[in-house]
Amino acid sequence: MSVAVRFAPSPTGLLHVGNVRLALVNWLFARKQGGDFLLRLDDTDEERSRPEYAAGIEEDLRWLGLTWDRFARESDRYGRYAAVADQLKAAGRLYPCYETAEELSLKRASLIGQGKPPIYDRAALRLTDDARATYEAAGRKPHWRFKLEHTAVEWTDLVRGPVHFEGAALSDPVLIREDGRPLYTLTSVVDDADLAITHVIRGEDHVANTAVQIQIWQALGAAVPTFAHLPLLTDAGGQGLSKRLGSGSVKALREDEGIEPMALASLLAKLGTSDAIEPRLTLDELVAEFDIAKVARGTPKFDGEELKRLNARILHLTPFDAVAGRLEALGFAGADAAFWDAVRPNLETLADVGEWWTVTHAPVAPVIGDAAFTATAAGLLPDEPWDTATWGTWTNAVKQATGRKGKDLFLPLRQALTGRDHGPELKNLLPLIGRARAVRRLSGETA
């Protein structure tokens, strides 16, 4: 059977790094196994699902390069869920319940008060036909619970190892709401079964769902997939990441923080695994290194500062060909390999290019401390053409003429030529600044 996995976000908010980590791990697993990666939108929560969030999810995945082989949307499949619900009712596995939300919370509170686990007492199974008819006559609509078998539920999790639940220790889950709408616990299984998903890779917040969902797969006569439940990321302070927060969203990382897709992918592919986090320039490299067995059980921490450092390292390694189009789109038409190679070691984000583009292509106010010194230096500038050896030749001549060396020699030249104390190596910048600008800046002119 060919491998198929899915990423199944609910379009109820922006994706955060924890969500896309699961997308990435599923995608890497599929690519490594030569299987399918499916994007499924879990949009049955109609109050909270929004088309713009669905579009945002697709945009985030495309930006990361996580292409999907198949696509499904739960809201297209209500008819199918209704048919499965009928099948489960006919088999006696789905039963109507009439308790209100308040009655249920009172029951739960009373069980907890007695020190017992808040498991649904199945009172609805003992209702007489008359009692049911009375509820119906009073206008109460039932919600429907799945009748669990009180047997052991076991699976071997690719991350957690052997997992064991007792059916009797679980509440019969509600699968259909009063208004007739199916809930995630059912829809997810129906989709995974119909779409022939072989491996369900998701967060460990779903472990208890898996226990009840396995019984639903069995009740449907469908093949139970293999499971991997990954520990959820926390922020650097150990707090959970929430999808509804704008901060830490993939969109914010991309649009506000200037994070490169491969920086995020390099970090998320390795976070919480036995592999060291290293910059990688292509997803193919991450596929080659991927093995779900490397995922550890401990809670991984997402550290935004670590991501920024990785982002800088990725940019330092990126060849010109890989950014040429983006430089042009950013308005740096004419940026060439020499320019890119000169400035990339000083970038933290691609947008930082703008500062060095100004230094090489736009007027800059020089910083002059000792005008006589920079004037002498200007007089010693060799004729063009210039290359990366020009800086050494020139500064040697300036050293001979003035007796200055080290910082006394180099810092005033940098300040005059760039208007800054720090920046890319001047042997690379000088030919890009060019002789005409250099002479004027060394003379104190904004040029």
Query: What's phi and psi for 62, nearest 5 deg?
Result: -65, -40
Q: Is 50 in the site for ligand GLU (CB under 6 A)?
A: no
Least separation in angstroms between residue 414's CB and ligand GLU is 52
Q: Which stretch binds ligand GLU (CB under 6 A): 2-10, 59-67, 85-93, 376-384?
A: 2-10
Q: Is 433 in the site for ligand GLU (CB under 6 A)?
A: no
353: left (phi over 0), alpha (psi -120 to 50) or beta: alpha
Least separation in angstroms between residue 12's CB and ligand GLU is 9
Q: Is 214 in the site for ligand GLU (CB under 6 A)?
A: no
Omega before residue 385 within 30° of 0, cis: yes
Q: Is 202 in the site for ligand GLU (CB under 6 A)?
A: yes
Q: Is 210 in the site for ligand GLU (CB under 6 A)?
A: no
Nearest C-alpha neighbor of 209 from the set 192, 234, 223 = 192
If the CB atoms of residues 10 and 395 are measured against ligand GLU, the closer one turns out to be 10
Amino acid, res. 315: L
Surface-to-core class of residue 186, CB atoms within 10 Å of its CB (0-12 exposed, 13-18 middle, 19+ buried): buried
Q: Which stretch binds ligand GLU (CB under 6 A): 8-16, 113-121, 164-172, 385-393?
A: 8-16
If the CB atoms of residues 205 and 255 are measured against ligand GLU, the closer one turns out to be 205
Q: Is 42 in the site for ligand GLU (CB under 6 A)?
A: yes
Least separation in angstroms between residue 206's CB and ligand GLU is 6
Name the helix (H) or strand (E) containing 430. Answer: helix 426-433
Count of helices and strands (H, E) across the chain? 19, 12
Q: Is 30 in the site for ligand GLU (CB under 6 A)?
A: no
Least separation in angstroms between residue 340's CB and ligand GLU is 40
Of 206, 254, 309, 313, which one interacts with ligand GLU (CB under 6 A)? 206
Q: Is 74 in the site for ligand GLU (CB under 6 A)?
A: no
Window 127 to 186, contacts with ligand GLU (CB under 6 A): 184
Number of residues counted as binding ligand GLU (CB under 6 A): 8
Q: Is 9 in the site for ligand GLU (CB under 6 A)?
A: yes
Query: What's phi and psi for 70, nearest 5 deg?
Result: -145, 160
What spatial distance separates the first Cα and last Cα of the chain, rounded to whole Å?
Answer: 68
Q: Is 170 helix (H, G, I), strand (E, B) or coil?
A: coil
Of 188, 311, 346, 374, which one interacts with ligand GLU (CB under 6 A)? 188
51-78 burial by CB neighbour count: b if 16+ within 10 A, else e?
A: eebbebbeebbebbebebeeebbbeebe
Window 270 to 329, contacts with ligand GLU (CB under 6 A): none
- ∠ CA(135), CA(141), CA(147), 5° rounding? 95
What span, in angstroms and rounded, lies between the C-alpha atoms of 226 and 368? 68
Least separation in angstroms between residue 248's CB and ligand GLU is 16
Place of tokens 């047997």: 151
Q: Is 57 in the site for ligand GLU (CB under 6 A)?
A: no
Q: Is 26 in the site for ligand GLU (CB under 6 A)?
A: no
Binding site for ligand GLU (CB under 6 A): 8-10, 42, 184, 188, 202, 206
